[in-house]
Structure 1
Amino acid sequence: MAMEATAVTRELIWRRVMDELGFEHARVRRGPEGTELSGVILVAEQGAPLRAEYSVVCDGAWRTRRVSVTQSWRGEHQTLTLEHDGEGHWRKNGRAEEELAGCTDVDLGLSPSTNALPINRLRLEEGASTEIRAAWIRFPSLEVMPARQGYTRVGPARYRYESLESGFNAMLDVDMDGLPIEYAGIWRRLAEGRAAPEPASRRFVDALVSPGPSDELGDAAATFGWLVGGWAGTIQDHDPDGSVRQSEGEWWFHWVLEGRALQDVFIVPSRRAPAQAGPGANRRYGTTVRSFDRTEGKWQITWISPTGGAINRLAGGREGDRLLLLGEHHGKPIRWSFSDIGPDHFTWRGEVQDGAGNWNLQSRFDMRRIA
Structure 2
Amino acid sequence: MLIGVPKEIKNHEYRVGMVPASVRELVQNGHNVIVETNAGIGIGFSDQDYITAGASIEETAATIFAKAEMIVKVKEPQAVERAMLREGQILFTYLHLAPDLPQTKDLIDSKAICIAYETVTDVKGGLPLLAPMSEVAGRMAIQAGAQCLEKSNQGSGMLLGGVPGVAPAKVVVIGGGMVGNNAAQMAVGLGADVTILDRNIDVLRSLNIQFGNTAKVIYSTTDVLEAEVLAADLVIGAVLIPGAAAPKLVTKEHIAKMKAGSAIVDVAIDQGGCFETSHATTHQDPTFIVDDVVHYCVANMPGAVARTSTFALNNATLPYIIKLANQGYKAALASDKGLLEGLNVIDGKITVESVAVAHDLPYVAAETALGL
TM-score w.r.t. structure 2 length?
0.24
- Greater share of helix residues, 1 or 2? 2
Structure with higher strand content: 1
TM-score where L is the length of structure 1: 0.24
Work out which of the two has the higher radius of gyration on C-alpha atoms and give 1 or 2. 1
